[in-house]
Structure 1
């Protein structure tokens, strides 16, 4: 049981680390001359512009920012509740509250990555008429980490739902 508990803790911490990296790092959309994330766009590795009200997709990126931050916070809260429930729950009870919060984290990261995917596709179609340095690119590793974090949070949410406290 101790090995299973250690595995679950490491899996949860890995999920949280993936969420932190995906939220903070500047590699959601990359090209040869630029890289962009949900916070800023950098051209030629020196000219970085913060995404603000003047950016044409600001409202959409705010939704992505908010859901990624909420996902990270919920993942951390789920871990704290798991640790509290580990010592407070009676033997044989399930970690339902931890599971619910972790699955909400999973939903938030899925929403963020889905919105970003949809808006990036729309931007690519719109920019085919007008040249933009950020129109030619590909999804970066932080975007991929967001989808991996989605899978990890989903799996850990299901594990918590199944897990019972035993001796």
Structure 2
């Protein structure tokens, strides 16, 4: 049982690390001379432009930013609640609250990555000078990590749902 518990804790920490990297790192859309994420676009590694109110589809990017941040926060909260429930729950009870919060984190990261996938071309097309970048690039590792984090948080949420506290 101790090995299973260590695996679950390690799996949850890995999920949180993936969410942090995907949210912070600047590699959602990359090309030869540029890279972009949900916060800024950098050309030639020197000319970085923050995505702000002057951005055409700023509300869409805000939705992606907010849901990625929310998924990271929910994942961390789920871990803290898991640790509290680990010592407070009676034997045989399930970690339902932890599972619900982790599945909400999973839903948030899925929404963020889905919005970015759907609106990526429109996000850059409506902003002068950025449309040519969208044609030359490809999805970066942070974007892929966001989808991997989705799978990890989903599996983690299901593990908590079926996990019973045993001796």
TM-score > 0.5, shorter chain as reference: yes
Which residue pairs with 1:36 in the alignment?
36
Q: How many residues align?
A: 164
CA contact (8 A) 2:56 2:123 kept: no
Aligned pair 1:86/2:86, yes or no? yes
Structure 2 residue 163 is the aligned partner of structure 1 residue 163: yes
Structure 1 residue 122: Cα displacement:
3.8
Please report how far the alpha carbon of residue 41 of structure 1 lies from its aligned counterpart in structure 2 after TM superposition.
Answer: 0.4
Scaled by the length of structure 1, the TM-score of the pair is 0.94
**Pairwise CA RMSD:** 1.4
**Residue 133 of structure 2 aligns with which residue?**
134
Tell me the CA shift for residue 132 of structure 1.
Answer: 3.1
- Structure 1: distance between partners of 2:40 and 2:70: 19
Query: Aligned residue for 1:100?
Result: 100
**C-alpha distance in structure 1 between counterparts of 2:109 and 2:102, whole Å:** 11
* Structure 2 unmatched ranges of 5 or more: none
Please tell me whether the aligned partners of residues 34 and 44 of structure 1 are also in contact (alpha carbons under 8 angstroms). yes
Alpha-carbon contact 2:42-2:48 (below 8 Å) kept: yes
Task: Provide the C-alpha distance between the structure 2 equivalents of 1:13 and 1:131, rounded to a whole number of angstroms.
Answer: 36
Measured after TM superposition, the shift of residue 33 of structure 1 is 1.0
What is the CA–CA distance in structure 2 between the aligned matches of 1:92 and 1:56, rounded to whole Å?
53
Whole-angstrom CA distance in 2 between matches of 1:115 and 1:21: 18
Poorly superposed stretches of 4+, deviation over 2 Å: 121-124, 130-133
- Give the drift of 1:121: 4.0
Q: Secondary structure at the match of 1:164?
A: coil
Matches within 5 A, 1:63-82: 63-82=63-82
Q: Matched residues in 2 for 1:64 and 1:131: separation?
A: 18
